[in-house]
Amino acid sequence: MIGYLSGPVTGNPDYKRQFAWAAKQLTRMGYDVINPAALSRVVPIEELSYDTIMEIDMLLLSKADYLIQLPGWENSRGANRELGYALATGKIVVSLESLLKEGREQAYGPTKHF
């Protein structure tokens, strides 16, 4: 199964680092993920319109099995569009936090909540 990272990009100067960190953590845990923030490595995104970039992102999301929401997704127009698409196409939606927590629990046993 393949996950697609979704989170705030526009107005977030640190988005590439945040997406890369999430991708690295999840990959280490055995997940396969699509990191749309790495798109600039293969596509000249600075030459493309917002709508064209979103078209590419939606195509990538269409190839994923589930959507992974990064912190701050709620305040992102693009991440909300991705969520709507994911829900409309029956994809699983999970938070990055829940996947990281699950990995910690598998490695160390259930965590205690106080």
The pLDDT tens digits for 53-88 are 999 999 999 999 999 999 999 999 999 999 999 999
Residue 102, pLDDT score: 82
| 5-37 confidence digits (pLDDT tens) | 999 999 999 999 999 999 999 999 999 999 999
Q: What secondary structure letter does DSSP report for 43?
A: S
How many CA atoms lie within 13 Å of 113's alpha carbon, on the beta-carbon side? 3
d(CA 31, CA 45): 26
- Whole-number Å distance between alpha carbons of 105 and 74: 26
